[in-house]
Amino acid sequence: MLDIFDVNFYCHARRAYVWHNVRTDKYRASAVDCKIWRNFWVATDLRSGVSWIKRKNAVLHELLTVGLTTYANDERFQAIHFHHSEDWTLQIKYVQPRDAGLYECQVSTHPPTSIFLLLEVVEARAEIAGPAEKFVRPGSTLQLHCLVKKSTEVPSYLFWYHNFRMINYDVDQGVNVSTDLVSRESWLEVPRASDRHSGNYTCEASNAQPARVLVHVFKGDNPAAMQHSMASSPSVMACTALLTMFVTLKLALQTNWTL
């Protein structure tokens, strides 16, 4: 039995944007803390008196940890507590969408005292402004802007790739990259684009799904003409002819089967 004369319970969460609400990135480790502030002496050790519970609804619940012992059938859950510390942490490794929901930090007072936290799992993603395919004339400036959305943490890096090669530091290749990790955005600029700058560009952050854009550096009056030229290329025409032949053959077989 706990001999507690006065206890203030304050629950805070890492990556918290709203008090008692926790937002965390998908697939990353998350931790929620239950802080117990004791104004008076506590006679009994709390190591077995703090439990973490996941509430499925008003009736159903899952006991995750009691003290430092894990009862969940999922090894991703772990209780962390350091001696003389006021923090009781529930760590969830490799967070999944199914981990979202209501969590309870319960202390075995009489009656029990609980703090509830709502965990929201979001999937951060990078976005490159504009269409997924860009057309640029030789000698003109290629500009790309990438913004990481729904990220609950500042990314540790934000890289640009050209055809799977990292180009953040390719100043000698005519590529200028400016990145602001705090605002979660990056700008790529090529002042004088040439044929070698055509290809796939990827914006990749440490904590988000990457974004991609296909860039064409072309000589011509308009992008539509280039698209028509691409559609008229021998390889595309061959694929179209093969597909037409396949469909025609399939229709012929269906007709014979019906007859």
Contact predicate 144/201, CB 8 Å: yes
**What values do phi and psi take at 27, rounded to 5?**
70, 0
Token pair 């590529």: residue: 175
pLDDT per residue over 85-94, tens digit each?
A: 777 888 888 8
pLDDT at residue 105, rounded to an integer: 86
Q: What backbone phi and psi angles, to 5 degrees, belong to 241?
A: -65, -40
Tokens of 26: 């998908």
Instruction: List Cα–Cα distances, 77 to 33, 179, 243, 244, in angstroms.
Output: 13, 35, 52, 55
pLDDT single digits (tens) 172-196 = 989 999 999 999 999 999 999 999 9
User: What whole-number distance in Å separates Cα of residue 216 and Cα of residue 185?
Assistant: 23
Q: Which domains can be identified in the chain, with CATH numbers? A: 17-122 (2.60.40.10), 125-217 (2.60.40.10)
Least reliable range by pLDDT among 161-170, 180-189, 244-253: 244-253
Q: Tokens for 34?
A: 């239950």
Phi, psi of 53 (to 5 degrees): -135, 140
